[in-house]
Structure 1
Amino acid sequence: MKLLNNLTVRVLLAITLGILTGYFFPETAAKLKPLGDLFINLIKMVIAPIIFLTIVLGISNMGDLKKVGRVGGKALLYFEIVTTGALAIGLILANVIRPGDGVQTAAVKGGDISKYTEQGAGMDWTEFFLHIVPNNAIKAFAEGDILQVLVFSMLFGVGLTRMGEKGKPLIQTFERLSKVFFNILGVVMVLAPLGAFGGMAFTIGKYGLSTLLPLAKLMGTVYATMILFIFVILNLILRYYKISLWAVLKFIKEELLIVLGTSSSESALPQIMDKLETLGCSRSVVGLVVPAGYSFNLDGTTIYLVMATIFLAQVFGVDLTLGQELTIIGILMVTSKGAAGVTGSGFIVLASTLTAIKVIPVEGLALLLGVDRFMSEARSITNIIGNTVATIFIANNEGEFDRTKYERVLKREAENELADYKY
């Protein structure tokens, strides 16, 4: 069938098959995690080089280093404002809906949280921010440390720009290398359905749908909050420049489905950068905003962290004062920035926050172990949509958005969709 040639359809079918396999054959499905990991590793293989080349070419194509600083400053300001808004929305809805009321701690299957609480309690945030600057650039690439690669790439781009005409041959070489890596990415994307199938089958097979029931209200609240954030807040941000959020989401639907299947925003990071350029954002803005947003604009993670904190307070009957809730927001404004660079970030950052507050039992994290994997899809999807919107907003604000290209892309997408369904 012609429809099966469409990557979106193939990934959607793979996710469906993964859910069915996990439900009917849980023992077999729980062993399929390597399929998802294989695909994510293939993506990680090209992330660092693609980010490096995109940032360097973006800065060198800007030419004006003052403009680089201006775009970076606007991006960081945008990230802080929107992230604070996400925190406030999560805090308000968690207090209004109160998902933690009535949850019996003994009725929920716990788990070993020692590794999270130990790492969370021992997190040194001064050390984290010092870690942003790599002491070994090669090591940053080898370990795939996105934030360190970002810093090095910006410095490299600035150095290359200052060479003027003498740097042109190297820029041309980087242009060719960029095409090579995106061609590699095109080959890797053929395996996207396999990765989505393995990731979803493992999640359902290992954790089971039954684990959702005790904390269904929390999951429903988190999902509803993220949907509200996307279709109200992010939608209003795009409407300011007369951009259709729905049209953008349709354009990146393949990447969203891949994130849904793999529970990892990394799995779609390079493709989103390519899609945003195709949509009309300049390479320079894409190269600066998307990698920075991956560490500093984690809207989905931010919403989850604040709601999980308030949820645990409600479960244990801790009546937080307004001052304590504002303190939670202040702490999460800092700790959430480290979420992308920490393995098992959700629990470690949450443990760090609870340790800093000292009024909610850290042991309560065991309640969230069973459902965390099911909420990670929502976090990852919200994060990637948030960074997509941020890039489009900054590009428009800088006059670096090609409206004609945008209209042409949407028209072509509509024609392709019509051709698929005519068959």
Structure 2
Amino acid sequence: MKILLLNDDYPPRGASSVGTIVEGLAKEYGERGHAVFILTSHRREENPGILRMGNVVSLPISYRASLRHYRCLRMGRVSRMIDEEIRRIQPTVVHAHNIHQYLTYDALRIARKHTDRIVITLHDVFSFSFARLSTAKYLSSLGEDAHMTWKDHVQSVGWEWNPLRNTRIRGAFRKNVRWVTVVSNALGRAAAQNGIENATLIYNGIDPAPWQCGEAAVNAFRAKHGLEGRRVLLFGGRLSVDKGAVELLHALECIRREIPSVLLLVMGDTERWQGLVEHAQVPQNLAAHWRCTGWLERPDVLCANYASDIAVIPSLCLDTFNMMNVEAMAARKPVVGTIFGGTPEVVVHGETGFVCDPRDIDTFAGYLKTLLQDDALRERMGEAGRQRAQEYFTLEKQAKEFLRLYQE
């Protein structure tokens, strides 16, 4: 087959987790003998022309961020470029991933002109929500009620709300897409509650073979970040209040009273992290118990997983899958994660880690203390996590399921 993958960003220019997933799928498809092409984007300020790098085509697309919820539907210039590229490639299958910022949902209409085998994978909530889904009723229902009203949308983005956006997106799916897939059952249920029904579940995966880190590299990472002799909790991503950063800091404050060697290792933007620390209003001396590395390159992310004792995913939003769950499990690390979103589908409570409502600080901190104080339990859960990751969440399994779908 000739497979065209669409995503707003793609390595090495793009650093999103979805871009990395798409890159992995492209590699898997290619190894199975399929012709694979990537259509992505870059900012016009970087380069005003179309960039061609082997099988990757990057389109120059920029606009004011406040117009996102209008521009995501269609931009005439972008649509013309996409039409020309799809006509040139003549794919058997077009598989869209994140197109809700630059490539636009109109790419689906254009693709339908050239093939009827069109897939879109929802990696997040932005096909039906204007921001991360963390409404009061979602949290109070413990993640069961994800339905959103126009008032929820206005509250999340204010005057940037586009009242026609969601209807247009559902129409684009209904008219042009053969298969909508989701990365977790939690996302599938939320999508259905907001008018996107009958989605197929295909979990994300990683390639476990390169997800190994030598002892020398781990020791060097530990030395660089001052981790020797510390019990390390790993936290990272796009740092924000709805990722549970405040609750994690309060849990850390509880833990350090009993485990003075505890250290929270934060992978993410240092300025954002400092803002969250100030927002949490924790004691100033708690700073001795966290390190913020800034954004890390993939090899260092790997080392961070191996250099840590536990991964922490305390999201207070519909965190649809969170690749950190699987990455930590592949590195034999137990996970203490949230009940909100897809984490409970990845992390088996009591077997590969624990899941809880992070707002319950005592329970949250208690699970972390239990693992930090019990080496045997930590090792047992870490090994169970590695086995689960290899059985259910590999890139090979994900690619096979998509290829089977393409051929239906």
Give the TM-score of the pair, scaled to structure 2. Answer: 0.24
Give the TM-score of the pair, scaled to structure 1. Answer: 0.24
Ranked by relative contact order (alpha carbons within 8 Å, sequence separation 6 or more), the top structure is: 1
Kindly indicate which of the two structures has a greater share of residues assigned to strand. 2
